[in-house]
Amino acid sequence: MATKIVQTVNRISPTVSVAATSNPITLKSGYIRVSTGETGAYIDVGPDPVATVNSYHVPPYSVDVIKDRLAKQQIAGITTGATTVISFAENSGHPFIVGDYVTIENAQPAGINTVHREVTAITDSSITISANTSAITGISANGSTVSRSVKVSALAASSATNISIAEVTQLVSE
């Protein structure tokens, strides 16, 4: 089986006593590939993870693909304020839950696009996120989307190491 890289993420360098955490990953496929070098690592994936010795272990010189829940929806409207309300088209529903972190992409003006903000409330047709957008006006949601985002945290198993992270799609071999 082959994999295709969807996006690369910053390499992280955890130690035995201090976990390192990646930049936010706006999920496109939900398959997160982590690879280790000479030292194995404990891996945790989530909104704001901190890996511990009880987290998932990836052995030295290994590659593992971790599947995470994918959630993405087209935006119908955005209401700015101390928190931001993202509305969806009538009867379209949405896949988000309170506690998810999300990223807004392709909205105008560029300042409304947020990265890794917590979903604090939901209704059948909207979500509220913890982004203060009260100073932003002239919003256009045409062609914009909101997607679930996560981070990867790693803790080295025995000595400092580097962890490479990429989001991939798994292709069926022909």
Domains and CATH numbers, the chain: 2-69+150-171 (2.60.120), 72-149 (2.40.30.180)
Distance CA 47, CA 102 (A): 9
The residue among 101, 95, 30 whose CA lies nearest residue 68 is 30
Burial string for 84-123 (b: 16+ CB within 10 Å, else e) reads: bbbbbeeeeebebeeebbbbbbebeeeebebebbbbeeee
What pLDDT, on the 0 to 100 scale, is given for residue 2? 78
What pLDDT, on the 0 to 100 scale, is given for residue 91? 84
**Residue 111 φ/ψ, nearest 5 degrees:** -65, -20
Distance CA 148, CA 72 (A): 6
What pLDDT, on the 0 to 100 scale, is given for residue 117? 97
Per-10-residue mean pLDDT, the chain, length 174 = 88 95 96 94 96 96 95 96 95 93 96 95 97 94 96 95 93 60
Distance CA 53, CA 17 (A): 10
- Its pTM stands at 0.91
Structure tokens at 135: 């100073």
Distance CA 82, CA 65 (A): 38
Beta strands at 77-79 and 163-171: parallel, antiparallel or unpaired: unpaired
The burial class, CB within 10 Å (0-12 / 13-18 / 19+), for 21 is middle
